[in-house]
Amino acid sequence: MKAFSGTDDTSDARRGLMGALALASGKLLAERYATIEAEVPPAIAVRGPEVGLVMLRGRTGGSGAPFNLGEASVTRATVKLESGEVGHALVLGRDTRKARIAAHLDALWQRPEWRDRIDRDVVEPVRADRAETARAMAEETEATRVDFFTVVRGED
């Protein structure tokens, strides 16, 4: 789904970053973050991390009118760097550490001198981990594919 406004390459890339961090396992994200934490400018908490709810919506019939399916717990955090960059995070679940880390990484990523390092040391490993998890599930599911064959009856 495309952004609802202000779409440009940077915001597309930032959406990608934030999505990758949200989909990362909290444990792996914390591990990867620990490898850069000592070197990076610290985060100043602006808001949260706080736990709240998002109302998840479905669509009637799959792609019709929206309806409220039920809520999910989420955690959001906003931090800023001394240099002024503001980082946001909104992630499913109640892992406040994960939200704080994601917000800090989002702020750091806006600084050109940190972007490559974050991509390399955090984003790529968590993306690879998720891709592997997804591939495992897809392949396990694929092994349960029904291969129909028709039994020929009678004589030819």
Partner 1 sequence: MYVAVKGGEVAIRNAHRLLDDRRRGDRSVPALTLEQITGQLALAVDRVMAEGSLYDPELAAMAIRQARGDLIEAIFLLRAYRTTLPRLGPSRPLDTGRMRIERRISATYKDLPGGQLLGPTFDYTHRLIDPAMAGAEPIEAPERRPCHPDSNWPRVTDLLGDEDLIEPDGEGAEEPGDLTRDPVSFPTDRAVRLQALARGDEGFLLALGYSTQRGYGRTHPFVGEIRIGFVVVEVDIPELGFSICIGEIRVTECQMVSQFTGNGSESPRFTRGYGLVFGQSERKAMAMSLVERALRAEEFDEERLAPAQDEEFVLEHCDNVAATGFVEHLKLPHYVDFQAELELLRRLRREQEERSRAAQAAGADETREVAE
Contact residues toward partner 1 (CB under 8 A) are 1, 3-7, 11, 14-15, 18-19, 22-23, 50-74, 76, 78, 86, 88, 90-94, 134-146, 148
Smallest distance, partner 1 to C-beta of residue 101, A: 14
User: Is 35 or 52 the residue whose CB approaches partner 1 more closely?
Assistant: 52
Rounded CA-CA distance 143/16 in Å is: 31
Smallest distance, partner 1 to C-beta of residue 113, A: 22
Smallest distance, partner 1 to C-beta of residue 39, A: 26
Smallest distance, partner 1 to C-beta of residue 150, A: 10
Rounded CA-CA distance 32/127 in Å is: 12
User: Is 35 or 53 the residue whose CB approaches partner 1 more closely?
Assistant: 53
User: Is 3 or 35 the residue whose CB approaches partner 1 more closely?
Assistant: 3
Dihedral pair phi/psi, residue 24, rounded to 5°:
-70, 150
Q: At what angle do helices 26-37 and 96-109 cross, to 10 degrees?
A: 50
Structure tokens at 2: 């495309």
CA distances from 20 to 17, 57, 130 (A): 5, 22, 9
Rounded CA-CA distance 90/78 in Å is: 9
User: Is 34 or 136 the residue whose CB approaches partner 1 more closely?
Assistant: 136
Structure tokens at 95: 């892992």
